[in-house]
A = this chain, B = another copy of it.
């Protein structure tokens, strides 16, 4: 069953996210990919997060601009949440980076770099967490 949940804020993030999904495919790690906006489907998102199947170990949340998604996901689950700032819009992702990384204490998001490198590193970071189990 799927171990990694990937949530992107918008359908337009699909190609961007694919970079991580390809790595999971290559590694044989099962994942589920969903699209929820923290701003457009907040209640559905919360409902979904409250009923997560228990096999998920890590969540990757991807968003651009005033990127609230990763923080909201971190606040609604107790799993480790990896945030990826997408470099969309006129500020090239520095807005998304700050919106994701500058979380108040108690609600951590493990933030990756802006854009393609960060998107792939989210997969690598998830794998490091999943490998903890295997190594036991």
Number of residues from A at the complex interface, CB < 8 A: 66
Residues of B within 8 A of A40 (CB): 75, 104, 106-107
The contact of A98 among B72, B95, B124, by CB within 8 Å, is: B95
Q: Is the CB of A65 within 8 A of B106?
A: no
Tell me the minimal C-beta distance from A75 to chain B in angstroms.
Answer: 4
Per-position contact with B for A106-136: 1 when CB-CB < 8 Å, else 0?
1111111111111011101100110111001
- Tell me if A6 counts as interface (CB < 8 A to partner B): no
Q: What separation, in Å, do the CA atoms of A116 and B87 have in the docked complex?
A: 15
Q: Is the CB of A115 within 8 A of B133?
A: no
User: Given contacts A72-B38, A111-B112, is CB(A117)–CB(B93) below 8 Å?
Assistant: no
Residue of B nearest to A54 (CB): B135
Q: What separation, in Å, do the CA atoms of A99 and B97 have in the docked complex?
A: 9
Q: Would you give 14 A-B contacts (Cβ < 8 Å), ordered by A? A: A39-B103, A39-B107, A40-B106, A43-B46, A64-B104, A68-B72, A82-B110, A89-B113, A91-B102, A98-B98, A103-B113, A103-B118, A108-B112, A109-B125
